[in-house]
Every structure is written in C-alpha cells, then in structure tokens.
A and B are shown apart, each in its own frame.
Chain A
C-alpha cells in the first residue's frame, strides 16, 4: 500500500502560485493605459488572429497574458455573463466591477480546487465619462483583485515595463502619447526597431463614443496602419 505524503496547505498554495507565476512570466506583456481620449490597450502579439485583447461589452474591454486557451475561455465566459446581464436587466447595468468579481471568484475557485491553477493574469477596463470615472481592475491567477489607477502592466517583464510606463504617464496623456509610451515600454528589452506596428495588437475604448462615433460600443480594434499613422503623428 502506498503512503500518502502530507503536504501542508501553505506549501501547496505556494507551489501552485510559483507554478502559475512561471507560466505567466514566459509570456509577452500587455499594457492598459487610461488616457484623455479613453483607454488604450496594447499587447506585444505577433499573431493577427489570436487576440489577447477583446471587447466584452459597450464600455468594457478585456486584456490577458498567459495561456491562450485559458484566458480565451475566460473571455468567452465574460462575454456570456455580460450579454445575459445586459439582456435581462439593461445595458447600463453591466459594469466592470461586476465582471471583475465574477472573474475573481472563478479564478479563486480554480486556484484552490482544480488540478492546476490558471496560468493567466487579466485586466478588465471600463471607460467612463471622464478619466476619473475610468475603472481598471487587475486580476491574478489566485483570484486576487486590485483596482488600479492610471495603468496596468502584466506579463513577462511587468516590473521593467511598469517602471517605464509610470515614468511617462500623466493624467492628460493623449491616445497617441499613450501608444508611444506603451510601445517604448514594451520594447525595453529589445532594440528600438524590433517592435514594429505589426508585432503589436492594439485596441481602444473611446470616451463618449455615442457622440463621437455614433455607437454605444466604445471598443475599436486598431489596425497596424492606424498604429503607424498614430505613431508618426506630431506630438
């Protein structure tokens, strides 16, 4: 008969956390920046079709790093949650706070109860009428949730990138400025020309999209040509 080894809960959780952290650290990074025109989401991602950034609802977007299949299933679950909620109550009753707490609960449940924790880190962003009303939530693999002010950096070189972003960020930064800052930050470990516009995925949650774009849906994916134009724009 085989003897079951005793592992203390502390050790078990620590091992799981180390495992998840290692998985996330292997991935490329994502930057979410709240700026004057809305919220910019930028990820280093050479694939044009496997997205790390997605639309959840009218004013809410999602960004993730880690294992694609895991965060993709979370993204789809988020879209389902938001659509059911908006359909059964009203569109304005769907909030980033509600979505983030659902994510926190499922990540927490998977972290403690499943075979293996999710190797993902998520950001949920909701654009408000003014920059002060923007919401940025950061969720980690164990279900911890943090309400961030200004910007969120996740992924492999999060600390290094975060230093660059916090150095250049200011509340009145423009969309083009935020994009330039994010690209500069994402390229910290590379030569300056190693991160062309085609190697990044970018999207935007536009502030006051009803009056400017004629749609409640604030999310727009930016094409590489939009990025190139934006980056060469005069400051």
Chain B
C-alpha cells in the first residue's frame, strides 16, 4: 500500500488510524513527544491484570487501585477495556499514557473496520498493539512504561487467545493464563493452582477474582475487593458472541464467597 509507484492518492491511503495521525496530526499521538531533560514527576500507576482461557473463550480481570509512590491515587480506576466487539485489553504501568494508548487502539480497530469493511484478524490486532507499545519506547526509557495484556476470540480457529507484551513491543502468545503488573507474581502463583482445562465461564470468573485477591494480599499496589465502597474487580469475558462485562452483582457474590471461605479457613498465609 505504501508503494510510491501507486501514485499520490494510493500513497495517502491507509487503513491505519495511527498512521493517519502520524502524517496529519502527530501532536495527537500519546507517544511521540519530545521530553525535556530532567526527572519525570511521579504519576499514577495501574497494576495487576490477570487473564485466562476457559471453554469457548477467554477472560480478563483487573483490580481497581492506582498508586502514586506509596499513596493510593485512585480506588476506582478501570484497567480492562473492550478493544472492539471480540477483543479486550488490560493495561499495567503509567495510567495516563496507558489510557490514551487504549483509546488510540480502540479507534485504530474501529477505523480499520470502517475503511476496509471487515474486521482485522486477532493476530493482526495483536500486532498493531505491539507496534503502539514500541512507539511508546522513548517514553518507557524515561520511566513511563505501559505493559498491556491482550485477549480475544479468534474466529478462524474458534478459540480464545491471549497475548502478552514486553516494553519494546515484543508480542508473545500465552497458553492457559497470564498476568501483568506488580502483583502479577502472586496472581500467577494462584492461577497455576486454580486454573484447570475446560473451566466453565462462571468458574473462570471465580478463578480470576481469587487470583486478584491473592495479588492484593501480598502486593500493596493491588487493591482487593472493597465491601465498604462496594468495589469489585472489572471482569470481561470474550467468546464467539463477543465481549461481555460481568455484572457487579455476580462479582460481589464471588468476592464475598472467597472472603468467607478464607475467613473460615482462618490461615495466616
């Protein structure tokens, strides 16, 4: 498409919203800024995201806490978003940048869909996200890294798939489950014990909430279920029918059951 022999018009044409912004309005991109010398002031960070596959789909959950140093910056932040009808992404790292990159990624997918009249393949979406994270590398070098987790339903193979990234935009397909953010080491330990092949959707939601509970137990930057404010993790499931946000009511019941079972067990760790 970028072949110069195709003439000026075809040369201008791109199905990528990011490329279009790069050419016509580069100042609107979340990355691409020239940073002045000096230290970056502290900014809110979003932390733990977990994702796992279940029978017929994939699920992603994130806690609600953002921290700035040792202070809780927000108890209400959302870190898991629908990217389009059939995919979701979660973000850990510098919250402001991550939310902007998420917004750009959502427009990127919708823009492609409208221009081309067809959906991008799941791996195509995952690669576009990788390119955006690579675009953010200069900011990451200044300490403002954004690490996403991407999950979606792959219509060509009929399964839910899961992709993790590194700060250079490297994309890695994960099997079964994965977690990112500062509480991810604890969440991953929990996922290893709780995850089983062919989980039902309800069981998978419970596993994700319990893994976040374990992360919040040991990581001060991850928030646990908050019955005082009635705050529960944000959980999205994706299957053949598209994405769905798990209702607060269900999450309250699941979180309540976990807290109760732990209280009955009465164990220290």
Residues of A within 8 A of B (CB): 49, 51, 54-56, 73, 76, 79-80, 83-84, 86-88, 217
Contacts and interface: CB of A to CB of B under 8 A. Distances in A.
Contacts, number: 36
A73 B110 contact: no
Contact of A87 (B13, B103, B114, B117): B103
A87 B28 contact: yes
B203 interface: no
B195 interface: no
Interface in B38-96: none
Contacts of A73: 9
Contacts of A55: 114
B115 A87 contact: no
Contact of B25 (A56, A76, A86, A88): A88
A76 B13 contact: yes
Among all A-B residue pairs, the 7 with the closest Cβ atoms: A79-B114, A83-B111, A87-B107, A88-B28, A55-B114, A83-B107, A83-B17
Binding site secondary structure of chain B? helix
A124 to B, nearest CB: 15
B117 A51 contact: yes
Nearest to A49: B117
Binding site secondary structure of chain A? helix
29 contacts: A49-B117, A51-B117, A54-B114, A54-B117, A55-B114, A56-B114, A73-B9, A76-B13, A76-B115, A79-B111, A79-B115, A80-B17, A80-B20, A80-B111, A83-B17, A83-B20, A83-B107, A83-B110, A83-B114, A84-B20, A84-B21, A84-B24, A84-B25, A87-B17, A87-B103, A87-B104, A87-B107, A88-B25, A88-B28
Contacts of B115: 76, 79
Contacts of A54: 114, 117
Interface of B: 9, 13, 17, 20-21, 24-25, 28, 103-104, 107, 110-111, 114-115, 117
A76 B116 CA distance: 9
Contacts of B107: 83, 86-87
Contacts of B111: 79-80, 83
A225 B9 CA distance: 37
Contacts of B25: 84, 88
Contacts of A84: 20-21, 24-25, 28
A86 B104 CA distance: 11
A83 B107 CA distance: 7
Nearest to A86: B107
A172 to B, nearest CB: 31
B103 to A, nearest CB: 7
A173 to B, nearest CB: 28
A94 B28 CA distance: 17
Contacts of A49: 117
Nearest to A56: B114
Chain A CB within 10 Å, residue with most, of B9, B28, B110: B110
A55 B110 CA distance: 10
B139 to A, nearest CB: 19
Chain B CB within 10 Å, residue with most, of A49, A51, A73, A84: A84
